[in-house]
Amino acid sequence: MTRDEQHVRDELAALAATTKGRQLLQLALRGIEESGRGLTYGCWVKQDGGVAGCLFQHAYWQGVSEGQFQLAKGEVGGALKEYVGEDDFAIVMESIRAFDSLGKRRFRRWQRGRLGLPAHRLDEQLWRSTIERLLVDTLAATTGEAGVRVGLEPAPPALDARA
């Protein structure tokens, strides 16, 4: 695991430690899986067109579709800040910086751009699978008041009736 990936994991864990932060990450995961939109880093909308968003843009879109957020006329960040609160929003912003760093260092590839000139492009498939894995790992590891796994015990194995 690289330093950049550990930084992302640490920021996600800090966010998942609070109830609203955990709910925001759950919205993001559902949004990534259900929206059909692209996943990027560093900006709310892809620069080269199309509809894609970063992790927290997906959380916002999912929150709007589920009635958690009102459709913002202005800045999406304001809706997220209101939802998670001032302290957790600082973690959201640090998470965005950590995702940006990870994406730029490990998931950008040189490809031919317009007119055959080389350009950096995000390896979206690998980026998406990595982010989904990080979210699932973080949410699965959350315990305590913000987690839903407190006090849960695995079910005993089923006995074979033929034995």
> What is the reported pLDDT for 163?
46
pLDDT above 70 covers a percentage of the chain that reads 77
SS3 of residue 160 by DSSP: coil
**CA pair distance 53, 124, nearest whole angstrom:** 11
Residue 9 pLDDT exceeds 50 = yes
Among 17-21, 97-101, 118-122, 142-146, where is mean pLDDT lowest? 142-146
Tell me the per-residue pLDDT of 85-102, one tens digit each, with 9 for 90 and over.
999 999 999 999 999 899
Crossing angle between the packed helical segments 76-84 and 19-34, to the nearest 10 degrees:
140
3 or 162: which carries more pLDDT confidence?
Answer: 3
> What is the reported pLDDT for 145?
58
**CA pair distance 55, 49, nearest whole angstrom:** 18
Among 5-9, 69-73, 150-154, where is mean pLDDT lowest? 150-154
Tell me the per-residue pLDDT of 24-67, one tens digit each, with 9 for 90 and over.
999 999 999 988 888 888 655 544 445 677 889 889 889 989 98
Segment 2-30 mean pLDDT: 94
> What is the reported pLDDT for 152?
43
Q: Which burial class, exposed, middle or buried, applies to 91 when counting CB atoms under 10 A from its CB (0-12, 13-18, 19+)?
A: buried
Q: How confident is the model at residue 2 (pLDDT cuts 50, 70, 90)?
A: confident
